Structure 1
Amino acid sequence: MKNNLDLTQFDFKKDLPDWQVDLITKTLSRNFVFKDFEAAFAFMTLCAAYAEKIDHHPDWSNSWNQVKVQLRTHSKNDITPLDIELAKAMDAFANQIQKPAEI
């Protein structure tokens, strides 16, 4: 993904359907809900490791089985490709955590 993201050209509804985009505050947000605290914490652990790897960290909070996330690149005061990348990774991690275990 190129460095300068044209938000008017990015299809948030198609590529990040569960995320809310606020073009005024320039943020992406999503509330993830899991079956319990352990699943929510496992999700946060995966996300934290990935965020460290790409050196881009979410604003988030956890309350039992919920993780509220807000993404924005503070240094650019905008949504950037790093936010999109992290949002997509978070979606994948949430799907991974919520899948029933294979027996």
Structure 2
Amino acid sequence: MSKPNLLAKDFDFDKTLSEWKVNQGKRELGRTFVFKDFKSAFQFMTLCANFAEKLGHHPDWSNSWNTVSVRLSTHSMGGLTDLDITMAHAMDQFALQILE
């Protein structure tokens, strides 16, 4: 896999990832997903885990019953990269699949 690209300082997170919160100090994206039950949350995490393996980019996350809290950052690059954006978009799509 090629080296990820750091995002431009003026990257428009609000336009690109409106549901995600940006923490510039920690250089990470965060979002909390809430599902109808534990099984749905686990199904979401399984889809994300399989995608993360293919992408070679893994989230920092936690699960408590129906809630999955996610933080994304490319630690090896010391900030947010195109990999984080790709992972965030995929997670948004997986959540939509589960919530439908």
Query: What TM-score range do you get, normalising by the shorter chain?
Result: over 0.9
Superposed CA offset, 1:11-48 (max 9, x none):
21111111000111100000000000000000000000
Partners in 2 of 1:7 and 1:65 — Cα distance?
A: 34
RMSD: 1.1
**Structure 1 unaligned runs (5+)?**
none
Q: 2:87 — aligned with what?
A: 86
Distance between the aligned counterparts of 1:94 and 1:85, measured in 2? 14
Q: CA deviation at 1:57?
A: 0.2
Give identity over the alignment, percent.
58
SS of residue paired to 1:75:
helix
Count matched residues: 97
Residues in 1 aligned to 2:5 and 2:73: alpha-carbon distance in whole angstroms: 14
TM superposition outliers: structure 1 runs of 4+ over 2 Å: none
* TM-score with structure 2 setting the length: 0.93
Q: Does 1:71 align with 2:78?
A: no
Larger Cα Rg: Structure 1 or Structure 2?
1
Show CA shifts across 1:50-94 (max 9, x none). Answer: 000000000000000000000000101100000000000000000
Runs of 5+ unmatched residues, structure 2? none
